[in-house]
Amino acid sequence: MTPQNIANHPSPQRAPSLFRENLQAFFASKLALIGFVMALILLLAAILAPWITPQNPYDLLQLDILDSRLPPGSENGLGSYTYWLGTDGQGRDLYSAIVYGLRISLIVGIGSAIIASILGTTIGITSAYFGGRIDAILMRTVDLMLSFPSILIAMMILAYLGKGVSNVILTLVILEWAYYARTARGQALIERQKEYVEAAQNLVIPKYRIMLKHILINCLPALIVIGALQIARAITLEATMSFLGLGVPITEPSLGLLISNGYQYLLSGQYWISLFPGIALLLTIVSLNLIGDRCRTLFNPRLR
């Protein structure tokens, strides 16, 4: 082949990676794009809370009881800034309280999901790989955990442990790990029957390496889907517990506790105390559910 022909010969195109293909397919959905943008905005707002809010609602020295239950657009007593979303019964700026409360809700949801996913995935893959009596004991424990109502168990645990962010995360981990274990076991049972696992066993590769580097990798798509959905579920449960007075302490209110603080003022026309935190909670849960639903469609060939 002459140099001229080589120059005119088109170079082979690099095949797109699987990650890039899935990313493009994810953003091809307008609903998924909207959910991702909303979730990103809420996450950035929670991270940048000290720099984008005029007040630290957790600092009691910055609160003025004389500014309590002011309608949206009112100025504070000193006239230094405006309460664009009004104030609650303790004189907190609702905009600042929502942003800081969103941080608590996301910490609880994401933190509990990460810990529960590690624990549940380990139990599920171990159960599927070894089988036999170990599988029977672990799965009966999972069935037992899934048979109880989540809210009832959460109320019992928090009534014993008391209020606190760490106690709420621990409670949610106890409630959520079984979902990850059931999903991981189902996927691991499919992968365990494939030839590459049998080949790895014949090569006398340690069992933990087979479970981590072979089976776990192929179980990740399903775990990512359930993880996105479980974060939204954890935030919902935390808001429910805080609304009932069993979640985070009143000095560090989450979105659920902010809604609870304004519930008693709804009939008196002071709607904003519960309305705006409720909208923030709704946007958070909807955005996470949109992301999780799109991931479920992408990783399920039948739905795709």
Rounded Cα distance, 175 and 229, in Å = 14
Query: Backbone phi, then psi, for 82, in 5-degree steps?
Result: -110, 140
Please check whether residue 181 lies inside any domain of the structure: yes
Rounded Cα distance, 99 and 105, in Å = 10
Please check whether residue 4 lies inside any domain of the structure: no
* Average pLDDT value for the chain: 84
pLDDT at residue 302, rounded to an integer: 57
Q: What is the mean pLDDT of residues 253-269?
A: 85
Total domains in the chain come to: 1
pLDDT exceeds cutoff 90 at 169: yes
Q: What is the mean pLDDT of residues 233-248?
A: 89
pLDDT at residue 17, rounded to an integer: 67
Please check whether residue 158 lies inside any domain of the structure: yes
Which CATH number belongs to the domain containing residue 168 in this structure?
1.10.3720.10
Please check whether residue 238 lies inside any domain of the structure: yes
Please check whether residue 56 lies inside any domain of the structure: no
Please check whether residue 205 lies inside any domain of the structure: yes
Please check whether residue 92 lies inside any domain of the structure: no
Q: Crossing angle of helices 255-263/272-299, nearest 10°? A: 140
Rounded Cα distance, 212 and 234, in Å = 26
Q: Residue type at 194?
A: K
| Predicted confidence (pLDDT) per residue in 42-52, tens digit | 999 999 999 99
For the chain, helix, strand, coil in percent to 5 are 75, 0, 25
Q: What is the mean pLDDT of residues 116-137?
A: 89
Please check whether residue 86 lies inside any domain of the structure: no
pLDDT at residue 41, rounded to an integer: 95
pLDDT band at 12 (very low <50, low <70, confident <90, very high): very low
Query: Which tokens is 244 given?
Result: 């009932």
Domain that holds residue 201: 111-303
